[in-house]
Structure 1
Amino acid sequence: MAKKGKSVLNPSKKIFVLDTSVILYDHDAINNFHEHDVAIPVQVLEELDNFKSGNDTRNFEARSFIRLIDLASKQKIISDWIALAPPNSGKFKVLLNEKPSKTDAEDIYGKGKTDHKILNAALSLKEEYPGSKVILVSKDICLRLKAKALNLNAEDYETGKIKNVEELYAGKTELYNFPETVIDLVKKENLVDVSKIDLPAKDGNHFFLLKNKRKAANVFYNHALKTISSVSTEPIFKIKPKNIEQAFAINALLNPDIKLVSIQGNAGTGKTLLALASALEQRRDFRQIYITRPIVSLSNKDIGFLPGDAKSKTDPFMAPIWDNLRFIKEQFNGDDKMVAKIDELISTEKIAIAPLAFIRGRTLTKIFFIIDEAQNLTPHEVKTIISRAGEHTKIVFTGDIYQIDTPYLDSESNGLSYLIENAKNHPLYAHITLHKGERSELANLANELL
């Protein structure tokens, strides 16, 4: 006898079974499969129940999904297929503890593990609807491999992923054999209307290295004004750019017309140091300098496992930021007045260094906001942070998309890559990728050879 709800499905549609990792990545995932149907194993709801308390982003995602399902179900039974809210969407249901009659994942992989119960839920659905293609969607590579070993279709959650990360926008272009007359004009006038010169068309703000055999000019193209302006290589707050990429980064960080900046690069390229020095250079223009980073423990345990109060728990994760601030202070050795001023900025919390979870729910007005290690954020987290920006706020994301510590994120699906790809043509945004390491020759050896 056909199970209740089976007849409502269109055999030509696909049925996507989502696991917990997908929901914690994007609570709105069930609405992103167009006309196809979506199923959630009951074990996913049980795991989300364990995640719903706390201030971390995954806790927020869990709570948001639970509310979303509650709103969608209303008075309906969610173990039956119910229509999703967006127009032309498919249907949704929760899969209960049903065992497949043919292939049993728990018999093969072991009993008691939630992942194996999720596999069984998908296998049961495959048996129940032989005319539909059932696909398990998971951010967990091992779970996808186990599914494929059982002849069950499995794929990553693709929403928000960058298709070709190797071609990700870098923010700069080198132009060779550029007319000397234009290079001379830029150096003379500093600001030049691009209608007067032959410059490749760009849809957003961009940096150019204009080169000739004997001369060169480094410029910023302002897409809104249709002008190019010379980029300075002068130091800021006693931090001098060591290469032209760093000078481009400083230009974007100091530009009052640019409200959103991203800096991507390997360890040792100076991302965080440049952002912090630029913030201090503009300290009078902002009410507060806020520096944060997502807390990702190598053991993936919550900071609640650590001893002490909130500050004691989070200080180890914030240590790299304090190291950069200490380095800047060292540049003022002998200038007791400036060292005292920096200490005062810290003691009065004009400079605030705290974990990202601590800013949830706040509106950031007249803040210079630096988010370090942004590659450990999801696209939804990046969107949430930017949506907190109030008037006269500048937001800076720094990170290395190839050095990710968060489970289920990679160079294609992390929030920093997502931001670079999707914001590159916006008039308020500028990006630069730093390639050359400046920490030390030894650090460069690690990046280049190991």
Structure 2
Amino acid sequence: MTKIYVLDTNVLLQDPNAVYSFEDNEIVIPAVVLEEVDSKKRYLNDVGRNARIVSKMIDGFRGTGKLHEKIVLENGGTLRIELNHRSFQQLQEIFIEKTNDNRILAVAKNIALEEETKTDGKPVILVSKDALLRVKADALGLMAEDFLSDRVVELDHIYTGVQEMYVNIDKIGMFYEHGEIPLLECSGNGFYPNQFLIIRDELGSSASAIGIVNEKGTALKKLINQYDSIWGIKPRNAQQTMALELLFRRDIPLVTMIGKAGTGKTLLTLAAGLMQTEDLRLYKKLLVARPIVPVGKDIGYLPGEKQEKLRPWMQPIYDNLEYLFNTKKPGELDAILAGMSSIEVEALTYIRGRSIPEQFIIIDEAQNLTKHEAKTILTRVGERSKIVFVGDPEQIDHPYLDEYNNGLTYILEKFKSQPVAGHIKLVKGERSGLAQLAADLL
């Protein structure tokens, strides 16, 4: 039986192609949704961009028929703009105010009541990213669903970049002796290029080893990073050791790194970038950028020149640089950076249109990127550059993103099978015992 899906505005603003995600079912877009989309067209961000895409797409549909009646989509489904069914009679005793959300609820409820009077009535489902709107729909006896087609992965299946395996102790000895072992001799399959494996003795002894899968996924090799200390930073756990392996590999130009607050993501990446830029001279410049997304209420416009405006947003980066440069006095870091033209701290606002060759690029707080922004950044990377995306998918401040549909998750899942990419999830907090406890409990 076909179904009727009533779409909320946030579904279209999250994914402009959402209308093609419901197979051969009927899609209803309330007129108030068009008004909300129209009000967002002037935004200079991804929401505004998506609003403009939706507007052009629906305008293009007019050539196939009358939108207020019904048009057939390419995937076999149908779409109509709902101008009727706006009566508030069914809602007035529960939700008094005629807000846009309540108008969408009214449309869905009235269509559902109409379908109930038919012998072949269809189920009516409200689709919304707004949890409270789904709760209100449930209070009215309406079926409601979250829009999940934009998710890159299902719950708890985000790729971690590391796997444990138990093997015969002889295989561990062979690994240390020859520097690699064929993966066909290990239990398990489906290994990704540059995936880390921790092999342990199947009989329970303390023998173990850490290796990285080769680009063909056929052999496990020893790690090649030879640096025990990078700008005073030493790896404190196995995952940090794996992270440094990825950060120093010239044959892996794309690295993604996720982990809770305090696991050392940004500090390790900055230290590796500084060493390869300043000491080894492998790159001409270290570029550090992060999206400007506030935590809590925005502080509004800031006075001063561009660098003065950016300083509050970039302060977490400067905090890590102060630690690495071991600065003691106010202004000392600024003086150091002024004398080092090879270090650039920038906002992602200014990255469009650039080409960035021969640079070590760090994108911090990448979980606040949309898929489109992530694509835009990756397409800026020039020859002989390395780019590292760092973030915590569990700490998202963007209103239209979650742990499973953000740009960072999108990149790591799409590139996990590519030999040019590597990924690691840092687990253990190293900032302080309190920070680790807070990350776990809160």
Q: TM-score, with normalisation over the residues of structure 2? A: 0.84
In 1: Cα distance, 2:372 partner to 2:431 partner: 32
Residue range with higher mean Cα deviation, 110-119 or 305-314: 305-314
Q: Find the residue that maps to 1:401 and give its secondary structure.
A: coil
Q: Find the residue that maps to 1:165 and give its secondary structure.
A: coil
Q: Which of these residues, 95, 98, 103, is aligned with residue 117 of structure 1?
A: 103
Residues 1:280 and 2:274 aligned together: yes
Q: TM-score, with normalisation over the residues of structure 1? A: 0.83
Match for residue 142 of structure 2? 152
Q: Which of these residues, 162, 183, 186, is aligned with residue 198 of structure 1?
A: 186
Q: Summarize the alignment of residues 298-317 of structure 1 with structure 2, pairs less than 5 Å apart.
A: 298-299=295-296, 301=298, 305-308=301-304, 310-317=306-313
Distance 1:200 1:150, change over 3 A: same
In 1: Cα distance, 2:284 partner to 2:380 partner: 16
Q: Find the residue that maps to 1:405 and give its secondary structure.
A: coil
Unmatched 5+ stretches in structure 2: none
Contact 2:367 2:393 in 1 (8 A): yes
Contact 2:167 2:186 in 1 (8 A): no
Task: Provide, for residues 320-369 of structure 1, a one-character-per-residue CA deviation record: whole Å limited to 9, x for no partner.
Answer: 12212222212899xx9x99775444xx4x43333333323545444433
1:128 CA displacement: 4.6
Q: Summarize the alignment of residues 13-412 of structure 1 with structure 2, pairs less than 5 Å apart.
A: 13-74=2-63, 76-84=65-73, 87-96=74-83, 98-100=85-87, 103-104=90-91, 108-130=94-116, 131-161=121-151, 164-176=154-166, 178-180=168-170, 182-190=171-179, 192-194=180-182, 197-198=185-186, 200-205=188-193, 206-212=195-201, 213=205, 215-224=207-216, 226-231=218-223, 232=225, 234-283=228-277, 284-299=281-296, 301=298, 305-308=301-304, 310-330=306-326, 342-345=337-340, 348=341, 350-412=342-404
In 2: Cα distance, 1:56 partner to 1:42 partner: 24
**Same amino acid, percent of matched pairs:** 38
Q: Find the residue that maps to 1:411 and give its secondary structure.
A: coil
> Which residue identity lines up with residue 59 of structure 1 in the other structure?
G
In 2: Cα distance, 1:138 partner to 1:15 partner: 14
Contact 1:138 1:154 in 2 (8 A): yes
> Which residue identity lines up with residue 140 of structure 1 in the other structure?
D
Contact 1:140 1:408 in 2 (8 A): no
1:431 CA displacement: 1.4
In 1: Cα distance, 2:248 partner to 2:20 partner: 40
Q: Find the residue that maps to 2:246 and give its secondary structure.
A: helix
Task: Provide, for residues 111-141 of structure 1, a one-character-per-residue CA deviation record: whole Å limited to 9, x for no partner.
Answer: 2311111112222333454422221111110
In 1: Cα distance, 2:344 partner to 2:428 partner: 29
Distance 1:173 1:413, change over 3 A: same
Task: Provide, for residues 401-426 of structure 1, a one-character-per-residue CA deviation record: whole Å limited to 9, x for no partner.
Answer: 22222334333343333444443323
Distance 1:202 1:258, change over 3 A: farther
In 2: Cα distance, 1:332 partner to 1:254 partner: 29
> Which residue identity lines up with residue 264 of structure 2 in the other structure?
G
What count of residue pairs does the alignment treat as equivalent? 427
Distance 1:311 1:332, change over 3 A: closer
1:446 CA displacement: 1.6
In 2: Cα distance, 1:183 partner to 1:291 partner: 39
Contact 2:286 2:343 in 1 (8 A): yes
Residue range with higher mean Cα deviation, 65-74 or 196-205: 196-205
Q: Which of these residues, 414, 421, 433, is aligned with residue 441 of structure 1?
A: 433
1:46 CA displacement: 2.1
Contact 1:34 1:89 in 2 (8 A): yes
Distance 1:176 1:203, change over 3 A: closer
Unmatched 5+ stretches in structure 1: 1-11
Distance 1:392 1:45, change over 3 A: farther
1:184 CA displacement: 4.3
